[in-house]
Amino acid sequence: MNATTPAPGACPLPQSKVIDLYFMEHRAKLLDIAAFLDRIERGAGGKFPADDFRIKAMLEAVKMLLDGQPQRARRVLEILSDPTMEPLESAAGMKGAAGAWPGRK
């Protein structure tokens, strides 16, 4: 591998170009998340619902974004995914995807 060949899995663009291309898109996504969390706090009850598995998972994922460790996307997806391998016997009563796994500890 030479100086012009990126490492396997590396982005071929310079970091400054990645920032130039994608910053505004992700700035908007970050503002969407902030607005969502504000909306929850303004809802009836006035605080985060400590028992909601989806909010717990989201807050854990947000913390992970700042931990300085690699593969954030994979690790966040794991927080939000159902790790079980066995199919459900029935989907009766389920109204659709929850976006997070209620069994996460």
- Tens digit of pLDDT for each residue in 40-71? 988 887 777 878 999 999 999 999 999 999 99
Q: Which residues contact 53 (CB under 8 A, 6 or more apart)?
A: 98, 100, 101, 102, 104
User: What tokens appear for 40 in the block?
Assistant: 């929850």
> Has residue 33 got a pLDDT over 50?
yes
Please state whether the predicted TM-score (pTM) of the whole model is above 0.85: no
- Tens digit of pLDDT for each residue in 2-13? 556 656 778 889
Domain locations in the chain as residue ranges: 13-47, 48-82
